[in-house]
Each structure stands twice: as C-alpha cells, then as structure tokens.
Amino acid sequence: MRLDLPSGLVVRGFTPPLRLADFRLAAFDMDSTLIDIECIDEIAAAVGLKAEVAAITEATMRGEIADFRESLRRRLALLKGVDEKWLHEVWEHRLHLNPGVETFLGALRDAGLKTLLVSGGFTFFSDRVARRLAIDYTRANRLEIVDGALTGGLVMQPWGDICDGAEKRRMLLQTCAELGIAPARAIAVGDGSNDLPMMEAAGLSIAFHAKPAVRAQAMLAINEGGMDDALAVFG
C-alpha cells in the first residue's frame, strides 16, 4: 500500500506504512520538541542574558559543543542569583506546546503506548508538561534553588545530576526493560544532537523541526507541519 505523505515529511530506511501496534513506548525530548522554546534561554531572556545563553544552547544543539554537561554548567553559571519567580513567568507566559503534539500523544495513548519525557531541561517545566500531556515517565535536571534564587547548580538525584544524551539513552533502555519490550518497539522523538543517542537506540527515530545533523540521521524527519503529521506513516 502506497501512502501519500505530507510534503514536510522525509522518510529514510523504511517503507511506510508501519503498524502503530508494533510499538509500545514513545520517548520525547521536551525543549523545542514537545514545547516551542528552550526554557533556559527564556529564563535568561527574562533577566537580559538571552544572547549569551542562547548562543551556547544553539552551538550545543548543532553539535558544535560536544560536551552537553559542560555546556549546561556554563549556561547555568550565568543564571546564578536569578529569582525563582522568573521560572513561573516562563511557564505561564512564554511556554506553549508545539503544533500537533497533543493529537500525536493522544493517538499513541489510544494505541496503548506508554510515553516518556527525557529532557536536558528542568523538572520545574518537565513535571508540569508531563502532567498536562499525561506522560507516564519523566527524567530531567532539578535546579538548585536557595532562598528563592537559582544557585547556578543542579540537585543530585538518584540517577545523577545531568540528563545528557547518554542518560536519555539509558532511560529509554531502562524503561523498555521495565516494560519487558525490545528497544526496537520504542519510538524516540527529538530535535538536537543530545537526542541522537536515544534516537539511535529506538526502533523508529523522529526528528521534529530538528537541527541538520539530527534530520540527516533520523528515520522520519518532520521538517514542516505539526508533530501529528508523523501519524501519516502508520497504516
């Protein structure tokens, strides 16, 4: 059966249609994937530091700064002393879901898939996004806040302190093991270079409005349109 796919989709390495029933888990990056901003950039923007922080973010997502952990530490250091109120400002006024996200996740849930949010961003936002989208599992970094202000550091969690590309992949594989499924039955969706490790481990990798290096390696690239356009490759 030949499918007429939306013009913004690029398929690589498989021939549609796939069967959604063959997958049991979908893992998502958050910033610029599920939501339309990079939260750390918007926190910086609120206090007049967006240019400095965003430059590091962009270079990291393009893969020009290979060490995500060092990149994140550099950006956080610039935010030392920022009032916690600006996190609420970003959540309430600057953060929006990307087009098609709710429709796509709804279709996955209806098909019986579990969902996972794995983010190099912050639990302040990922916990709220996960609740809004009824996502089953999450992993993200926890900002250290003392006396109502960011310290420029992160809180150590049982799994570690920084959710980088390797941790995203590990969490995907761990969740697959807990569900008793092979990684081939997982979908991974991302936009930046630190999403590639989990995308490479999954049975279907989807690049959503992604950086060139990610689009070039993904099995399905959504270069235009909403995330729900991905449903077109499923019979």
Q: List the one residue out of 172, 170, 214 whose CA is nearest residue 192.
A: 214
Determine what percent of the chain is predicted with pLDDT higher than 90.
91
| 127 labelled catalytic | no
Q: For residues 26 and 198, what is the distance between their CA atoms, to the nearest angstrom?
A: 11
Whether pLDDT at 1 is above 60: no
Taking residue 173's Cβ as centre, other Cβ atoms within 10 Å add up to: 15
Question: Would you tell me which CATH number, out of the four given (3.30.1450.10, 3.40.50.300, 3.40.250.10, 3.40.50.1000), belongs to the domain 9-233?
Answer: 3.40.50.1000
The residue extents of the domains of the chain are: 9-233
pLDDT at 69: 92
Q: For residues 3 and 71, what is the distance between their CA atoms, to the nearest angstrom?
A: 42
pTM, two decimals, is 0.95
pLDDT at 229: 97
Instruction: Give the pLDDT band of residue 235 (cuts 50, 70, 90).
Output: confident
Which DSSP string corresponds to 53-109? Answer: HHHHHHHHHTTSS--HHHHHHHHHHHTTT-BTHHHHHHHHHT--BPTTHHHHHHHHH
| 67 labelled catalytic | no
Which residues, 6 or more positions from 169, have their beta carbon under 8 angstroms from its beta carbon?
Answer: 197, 198, 200, 201
Instruction: Note the pLDDT tens digit of each residue in 27-83.
Output: 999 999 999 999 999 999 988 999 999 999 888 888 888 889 999 999 999 999 999
Options 29, 41, 191, 229, the catalytic residue: 29
Instruction: Note the pLDDT tens digit of each residue in 77-115.
Output: 999 999 999 999 999 999 999 999 999 999 999 999 999
pLDDT at 62: 85
Options 22, 31, 67, 83, the catalytic residue: 31
